[in-house]
Amino acid sequence: MAVNLTTPNPVDLFPVAGVRLGVAEAGIRKANRRDLTVVELASGSRVAGVFTQNRFCAAPVTLCREHLAAAGGVRALVINTGIANAGTGERGLADARATCAALAEKLAIDARQVLPFSTGVILEPLPVARLIAGLPHAIADLRPDAWFDAAHAIMTTDTVAKAASRRIDIGGTTVTVTGIAKGAGMIHPNMATMLGFIACDAAVSQSLLEAITREAADASFNSITVDGDTSTNDSFIVIATGKAGNSEIASAGSAEYRALADAITAVAVRLAQSIVRDGEGATKFMSIAVEGGASREECRRVGYAVAHSPLVKTAFFASDPNLGRILAAIGYAGIADLDVERLRVWLGNPSEEVLVAERGGRAASYAEEAGARIMQDAELTVRVDLARGQARATVWTCDFSYDYVKINADYRS
């Protein structure tokens, strides 16, 4: 059961001029299940992406990098669930190429104008014939208002579809930003089995679109973790169709740039937090907010040490304010000269926050009843002041429950 996450209302997902989406049941791994999505982009659209750092990257990731580098102008995305087409060697690459070629032929574009994405079981071959046979159905379904359906069709172990949308004003022109994502386990910085797609209709230069993509990824998908595993297939794509009619954004210092970057980042953060809220077996949504660091990097290191600790995560599942486990995780985060006498830790929920640790131990003012009361909430914050500098970073994660084990022990059966 996802933590404070409900299916978005379809009418709140605004169409993006220049983008049509269609879904189909291709029977890739299971029958009677929408498992194939095609996204068609208007000519002239610009696309940027960031991908998994896993050395065992999936064949579609390799092709995405190749096709984006080809700079021929991306005109379509094809996304399948069921099979990740990862750890599939030469055959996997050939299958991904065949997928792109088949879609390109049907849309009368070049195969290098197609970006492929796969998510699901690793090491098993992609049933490429079934995928290709499903393409005409997805193409026949292409509509501007299919974001809701596409959000469902890209789900794997997700229990709730993830989508977000907003409209902003850029120099008098209304710009729409809409995105969808999937992912529930294997979520980690540097992109886990996570797919995220955000499209806007703004006109923006290619280099600035790439800068926005990096900024948005850093603040969102690269600031979450469910289980510390980093997948083979993670991809985050930002599309700008240029159909809104604004003057092309070409200066990183402009108000228009900041407005677009903030809107895309906000949608990305919403999607990323939705992934954590739907973390496999999650019952709590935890924000680990680290401040007072000498660098953002060390704040992230502390945040991830706390967020990855199975002992912290199981204690939160039990609503147990076992602060010793949090302190232990801070202590092994790898800051060699950390002064534990100076750092302070607070535990909070949306209603209250209490100081729990200072001077190397439990805060004198802390009463365990307060901690136990706070822990009853499903939205929890661990705030850490390292007292070493001005940097800060927040990491979002979820707790670790019986159901996490159950879901991952049963996933293939």
Catalytic residue annotation: 193
> Which residue, 203 or 275, is less far from a copy of itself as judged by CB?
275
222 binding a copy of itself? (CB under 8 A): no
Q: Does residue 308 touch a copy of itself according to CB under 8 A?
A: yes
Shorter beta-carbon distance to a copy of itself: residue 44 or 361: 361
Tell the smallest beta-carbon distance from residue 189 to a copy of itself (Å). 10
Residue 73 CB: number of other CB atoms within 10 A? 15
Distance, CA of 53 to CA of 170 (rounded, Å)? 34
Say whether residue 318 binds a copy of itself (CB under 8 A).
Answer: yes
Q: Is residue 376 exposed (0-12), middle (13-18) or buried (19+ Cβ within 10 Å)?
A: exposed
User: Bridge-partner residues for 79, per DSSP?
Assistant: 37, 117
How far lies 266's CA from each of 49, 273, 301, 363, in Å?
Answer: 17, 11, 23, 36
Spatial CB neighbours of 216, under 8 Å, sequence gap ≥ 6? 198, 236, 238, 261, 264, 265, 267, 268, 269
Binding status of residue 408 toward a copy of itself by CB under 8 A: yes
Q: Which two tokens stand for residue 169?
A: 């004003």
Interacting residue with a copy of itself among 72, 89, 171, 350 (CB under 8 A): 89
Considering only 322, 349, 370, 389, the residue that binds a copy of itself (CB under 8 A) is 322
Q: Which residues touch 161 (CB under 8 Å, ≥6 apart)? A: 7, 8, 148, 151, 152, 155, 180
The CB-of-106 to a copy of itself minimum distance in angstroms stands at: 28
As a whole number of angstroms, the distance between CA 200 and CA 167 comes to 9
Distance of closest approach, residue 251 Cβ to a copy of itself, in angstroms? 34
Instruction: Name the residue nearer to a copy of itself (CB basis): 7 or 190.
Output: 190
Encoding tokens for residue 19?
Answer: 């983008």
Write the interaction track for a copy of itself spanning residues 197-216; mark x where CB under 8 A is met and - where it is not.
--------------------
Considering the complex, state which of residue 48 and residue 323 has its C-beta at the smaller distance from a copy of itself.
Answer: 323
For strand 162-170 and strand 173-182, is the pairing parallel, antiparallel, or unpaired? antiparallel
CB atoms within 10 A of CB 197: 30
Does the footprint of a copy of itself cover residue 98 (CB under 8 A)?
Answer: no
Round to whole Å and give the CA distance between 288 and 294: 17
* The pair of three-digit structure tokens given for residue 190, joined into one six-digit string: 């540097």
317 is a contact residue toward a copy of itself (CB under 8 A): yes
CA-based radius of gyration for the chain:
22
How far is residue 176's CA from residue 382's CA, in Å, rounded to a whole number? 34
Q: Give the angle subtended at the CA of 392 by the CAs of 386 and 397, to the nearest 5°.
A: 95
Residue type, 24: A
Find the binder of a copy of itself among 117, 257, 285, 404 (CB under 8 A).
Answer: 404
Token pair for residue 373? 């009361």
According to DSSP, residue 306 is labeled: H
- Minimum CB separation of residue 282 from a copy of itself in Å reads 13
Q: Which stretch binds a copy of itself (CB under 8 A): 19-27, 101-109, 163-171, 323-331?
A: 323-331
Which residue number, 14 or 56, has a Cβ lying nearer to a copy of itself? 56
246 to 285, contacts with a copy of itself by CB under 8 A? Answer: none
Of 310, 350, 352, 390, the residue at the interface with a copy of itself (CB under 8 A) is 310
Contact range with a copy of itself by CB under 8 A, out of 40-48, 206-214, 227-235, 247-255: 227-235
* Distance of alpha carbon 77 from alpha carbon 16, whole angstroms: 15
Beta-strand pair 353-358/361-362 = antiparallel
Residue placing its CB nearer to a copy of itself in the complex, 37 or 401: 401
372 touches a copy of itself (CB under 8 A): no
- Assess 227 for contact with a copy of itself (CB under 8 A): yes
- The one-character DSSP state at 309 is -
For the CB of residue 111, give the shortest distance to a copy of itself in the complex, in Å: 22
Choices 83-91, 160-168, 207-215, 257-265; region in contact with a copy of itself by CB under 8 A: 83-91
Alpha helices, DSSP H, located in 199-349: 206-219, 255-277, 296-308, 310-317, 323-331
Structure tokens at 273: 């937090």
Segment lying near a copy of itself (by CB under 8 A), choices 19-27, 68-76, 310-318, 390-398:
310-318
Q: Is 360 in the site for a copy of itself (CB under 8 A)?
A: yes
Q: Which position among 43, 53, 174, 207 is part of the footprint of a copy of itself (CB under 8 A)?
A: 53
Q: For binding to a copy of itself (CB under 8 A), which residues are involved? A: 53-57, 84, 86-92, 121-124, 185-186, 188, 190, 227-232, 308-311, 314-315, 317-318, 320, 322-325, 327-332, 335-336, 338, 340-341, 357, 359-362, 400-402, 404-406, 408-413
